[in-house]
Structure 1
Amino acid sequence: MPDIRLCLEAISALLGCKAESASGTSQFTPQDLVNVVALKEFYKQEGYKELEYPSLGTLSLHDLDEQDLYSSPPAIEGPPESLQVTVKINPEDFFHPQYDYDFTNIKDGDRKFMRGNELYVRPCGWNRVALRVMQKYDGGDRWLGTGADAWPVSYQGKNMDGSLILTHSGNPDDQPKFLDVAATALRKVETRGRGVYSTPDIRIAATYCKRFKSKVDGKTYQVVLQNRINPEKRQNCQRPDVWLVYIPEDSNDVKTRAIVQESIRPYGLLLKQV
């Protein structure tokens, strides 16, 4: 397993607040981690400036890419409110080293793998830190298996929103009115579907993932979440490498969080040195 301090830095980079090691029960679970990552991108897409999350409080949604979460705050301007948030994580009940897998030097070539009747593009070139999620959900661990009743694998990266696709902005169950426009329109608000996006292709996730420079070894890393996605909750987009968990317009914060929680479950923190 990579240095615990490096793993906590990666979590800090994803959350936009400080993650620190602590004894006792973690105030934050792996499910909370994927919830916050997904909800931050969703609410940012909706035009919000902050996210309120139980056990964390208020998190800023403005871009923290250039912020150093471990340095002293600026002398003149106060730090964003989310930089004042600290989440306590007990590594023993958050990580599951028994299931770590280092794909750094693995190349699959033409080999194919399946998870839940979907092609599984393994994260070759990445080092996976396993999250402790076994026996944490109702219905057992079949969702985490390799059989036909397992959930497919998806990857969650920062900035994964509706700019990934061209779609109508309504319910994906409605008859779609696809937009035949140039690729430059991909980032226009009116082309974004309403919901949470992920991808079965690690190469797509890598394009949108978070980078951070480690205080542990001075190296720069990319970080991506490896999840399983509920096949009954995800929608197929026009692009086969993008999946959508649709969030209806009338969803309040509690319902939105519940939709994410019942649709996406994390099981790996992926790190790659760049």
Structure 2
Amino acid sequence: MPDSQLCLEALSALSGCNVEATSGVSQLSPQDFVNIVTLKEFYKQEGFKELEYPSIGTLSLQDPEDQDLYSAPLALTEGPGPEPSLRATVKINLQDFFHPQYDYDFTNIKDGSAQYLRGNEPYIRPCGWNRVALRVSKKYDDSDVWLGTGKDAWPVSYNGHNMDGSLGIILAHKGGPSDEPSFLDAAAASLVEERKRGRGVYSTPDIKMAEKYCKRFKSKVDGKTYKVVLQNRINPEKRVKCQRDHFWVVYIPEDYSDLQTKAIVQESIRPYGLLLKQA
């Protein structure tokens, strides 16, 4: 397992919280972290500025790293004295949260033409990354079949950063609009069929695509910059493949409450690895 403080920094970068170690009970589970990461992107897509999450309160959805020249500056706290941190502090127990027995370092591995399956679907292994295993075995009521390698296992997906909505995934194209037929077809369909607008939570089965959207942070442990991605399993009955290749969405209906939205994420995406790679 990489340095534990480095792992805490990675979780902090992903969640937007200050994640610290404790010998007591963890405030958040691995499932909570994937909930927070995906819900933050979803609610940003919906135009919200904050996310309320049980046990930690209000989380800001305004990430200074994502601000551009046209973004409004973050509001300054009024009143005397230094401005308090906008980041919530979260305590986790390292022994309860991580599962070193299942760590796997893919840093120097190249799969080439080798093919792997999870749930009878292609599994693109995270070659070039170091995987820190999360303690999720026997944490769900429906056994660990979802975490296996057989036909009933859930397929693998990766959560990047800023993987949001119809404009971000189905209609948008880095560098401007594309005139490729596949892009134009997706854009036209999204305007005709409301469901194709992609209101929901996004992930990708392709680690190279996730890397393009991944979060970066500079570590105080060694001064190096790292990329971080969550490796998950996704419920094949809840996931829909987007018209643009390499993206999956779990749809969230317009009339769903915050509680229902959290519930559908929780029953659709389960994390099992924290991926780190030196930038």
CA distance in 2: counterparts of 1:206 and 1:223, whole angstroms: 8
Residue 79 of structure 1, CA deviation: 4.8
Contact 1:16 1:64 in 2 (8 A): no
Per the alignment, residue 259 of structure 1 pairs with 264
Letter in 2 for 1:248: P
Alignment of 1:68-147 (within 5 A): 78-79=83-84, 81=86, 83=87, 85-147=88-150
Residue 157 of structure 1, aligned match among 137, 141, 160: 160
After TM superposition, the runs of 4+ consecutive aligned structure 1 residues lying more than 6 A away are 73-77
| Number of residue-to-residue matches in the alignment | 251
User: Mind listing any 5+ residue stretches in structure 1 that lack a counterpart?
Assistant: 68-72, 168-176, 182-190
Contact 2:228 2:274 in 1 (8 A): yes
Contact 1:102 1:126 in 2 (8 A): yes
Per the alignment, residue 187 of structure 2 pairs with 179
1:249 matched to 2:257? The reply is no
Relative to structure 1, is the Cα distance of residues 91 and 131 closer, same or farther in structure 2, using a 3 angstrom cutoff? same
User: Mind listing any 5+ residue stretches in structure 2 that lack a counterpart?
Assistant: 68-75, 173-184, 190-195
Residue 108 of structure 1, CA deviation: 0.2
Per the alignment, residue 221 of structure 2 pairs with 216
CA distance in 1: counterparts of 2:143 and 2:187, whole angstroms: 42
Contact 1:161 1:192 in 2 (8 A): no
CA distance in 1: counterparts of 2:132 and 2:13, whole angstroms: 15
Contact 1:60 1:80 in 2 (8 A): no
1:5 matched to 2:13? The reply is no
CA distance in 1: counterparts of 2:137 and 2:258, whole angstroms: 27
* TM-score between the two structures when normalised by the length of structure 2: 0.85
1:232 matched to 2:237? The reply is yes
Residue 65 of structure 1, CA deviation: 2.7
Q: Which moved more, 1:37-46 or 1:58-67?
A: 58-67
CA distance in 1: counterparts of 2:93 and 2:134, whole angstroms: 12
Letter in 1 for 2:7: C
CA distance in 2: counterparts of 1:87 and 1:261, whole angstroms: 20
Per the alignment, residue 275 of structure 2 pairs with 270
Contact 1:166 1:238 in 2 (8 A): no
- What is the SS of the residue equivalent to 1:123? coil
Per the alignment, residue 148 of structure 1 pairs with 151
- What is the SS of the residue equivalent to 1:211? strand
CA distance in 2: counterparts of 1:246 and 1:136, whole angstroms: 25
- What is the SS of the residue equivalent to 2:65? coil
Letter in 2 for 1:133: V
Per the alignment, residue 211 of structure 2 pairs with 206
Residue 262 of structure 1, CA deviation: 0.1
Residue 77 of structure 1, CA deviation: 7.3
Residue 55 of structure 1, CA deviation: 1.0
CA distance in 2: counterparts of 1:240 and 1:112, whole angstroms: 19
Cα RMSD for the two superposed structures: 2.4
Residue 66 of structure 1, CA deviation: 8.0
CA distance in 1: counterparts of 2:222 and 2:256, whole angstroms: 43
- What is the SS of the residue equivalent to 2:250? strand
Residue 258 of structure 1, CA deviation: 0.1
CA distance in 2: counterparts of 1:97 and 1:272, whole angstroms: 17
Per the alignment, residue 193 of structure 2 pairs with none
Contact 2:186 2:244 in 1 (8 A): no
Per the alignment, residue 200 of structure 2 pairs with 195
- What is the SS of the residue equivalent to 1:40? helix
